[in-house]
Chains A and B, each alone.
Chain A
Amino acid sequence: MNKLLNVAQAVPRQFVREYAFKSDLKIKWVRPEKIACFKPEKSGDLSKLPPLNPNEILPEFRDCKELEKADEAVKAQFLLSNNASYLTTKFYRDEMVKEVQRHAQDFGSMEAKLAKMTAVIRRYQERMDSHPRDKMIKVRLKELIDKRKKFLKYLRRWDYPRFEWILERLDLVYKPPPAQFHWITRKESLQKLTDTYCENLKEERLEAYHKQLQAQQIPFLEEAIKKMQFVRQEQISCDVPVTVTEEHIAESKRQLAQLKELRQAEEAASSQKQNEDGFN
């Protein structure tokens, strides 16, 4: 019987609709556009390959005396731009390795490997821009980018100064992979956005409340000093034990002076900032 009564008298539980819940906050979610993984903004290449000099001769024939004396038509045969594309890639690769290698024979150190890969990657990226449907190059490019990222990860763990130096020399960006993979969904993104919105709101309100409390500090202290003085006078005149000493009052006055100074300095700083903003 008692149980039944309890059930009857219990406050009806608030009806919470958990399914298909739609927030009435005005948060607009924009799905980020997908960037192909071989694009420079994803692969971390900040700069492109320098443009090819049209008079660049094949590297093997650079110091050839006969070629200097030769006919224009013959010379044109030995131009890099008139030869196969892979020779240009090789040329760029060797140029880039020369920039970072430890000595003239070094092609296998980590920095030389990274330079080689970077040159080829940038060359392939140019190719992908002009021939977006070249699947073979796309696959090779993806694999190379992943490999370079892995090598950068290793180099960072082994030798941090060299890692930073190579990032600067090759103009690369290194971002560690995110902790876990997940697909981007509307629901989850909106949840995250709502969370940040609430956090911001909380901080804003706390800041406002803080300001409000700060504004009350000076009047409170002034009032307190007045009251302390009054109480002290009363205690002395009524001949009861004096609890409010001169030191208490002096301490409060000192606090007040400090606060006023602080506020003035803050105001000056803010007004100066406003002026600067106005000038700009």
Chain B
Amino acid sequence: MSRRGLLLMGQCMPCIKQNASKIRIRRMEMDKNLNMYFKKDEFYFAHDPQKVCKTGDVVLIRELPERLTRLITHAVEKVVYPLGDITDPLTGKKVVVGKYREDIEMANQLFGKSSKAFDYEKAPPRGRLEGTKDFTHGETYIKYHEDGKDQPFAV
């Protein structure tokens, strides 16, 4: 392994390995024959004992001076963009698609906000529905065997 400490940015993928996160680095690769670029994925396992990054987050990973295990070659440096919780880097405000959360909130107040409506202040951090209603933290598969047990990730 090199000592250059290469930094890479990629997206976190569902991973069953303990203490590690699977990061997908997506690059464009030139196909000389068709003279076109195509997506090419590379997967790295990054050391992440605290499970800082969750599935879908855009993270920075740094190459370790020497590989930790046979698979783990990188360490998670920081989470740049948590999935669905984007902060605009210029203004530092939270964004939803093309609007600031503030603006949406202001519009709601003008129309008379409903008491049952969703409130960002009351929203707990991500991950409370994992394994009950939200199964995006793991890979799903097509059910191929009926063993009488509950298979939460079978589709």
1/0 contact string of B119-155 vs chain A (CB within 8 Å): 0100100101100011110011111111100000111
Say yes or no: A193 contacts B140, CB within 8 Å: no
A residues 91-118 touching B (CB-CB < 8 Å): 98-106, 111
**B positions within 8 Å CB-CB of A:** 56, 82-85, 96-97, 104, 108, 111-114, 116-118, 120, 123, 126, 128-129, 133-136, 139-147, 153-155
Say whether A165 contacts B153, CB under 8 Å: no
A176 touches B118 (CB 8 A): no
Taking CB atoms, residues of chain A closer than 8 Å to B134 are 163-164, 167, 173-174
State which size class the interface on A falls in: 35 or more
Complex Cα–Cα for A247 and B153 (A): 55
User: Measured between alpha carbons, how far is A160 from B111 in the docked complex, in Å?
Assistant: 24
Residues of B within 8 A of A158 (CB): 84, 96-97
CA distance A174 to B153 in the complex (A): 11
Q: How far is the CB of A27 from chain B (nearest CB, A)?
A: 10
Besides A176-B136, A189-B144, 18 other CB < 8 A contacts? A29-B145, A30-B147, A32-B154, A98-B116, A100-B116, A102-B104, A102-B114, A103-B111, A158-B97, A160-B85, A165-B123, A167-B133, A168-B133, A174-B133, A176-B135, A178-B139, A181-B142, A182-B142
Closest to A182 in B: B142
Give the Cβ gap from B27 to chain A, nearest Cβ, in Å: 20
Q: Which of B84, B133, B154 contacts A159 (CB 8 A)?
A: B84
Cβ of B102 to closest chain A Cβ, rounded Å: 14
Q: Give min CB distance, A181 to chain B, whole Å.
A: 7
Q: How far is the CB of A159 from chain B (nearest CB, A)?
A: 5
User: Chain B's nearest CB lies how many Å from the CB of A33?
Assistant: 7
Set of chain A residues within 8 Å of B139, measured between Cβ atoms: 178-179
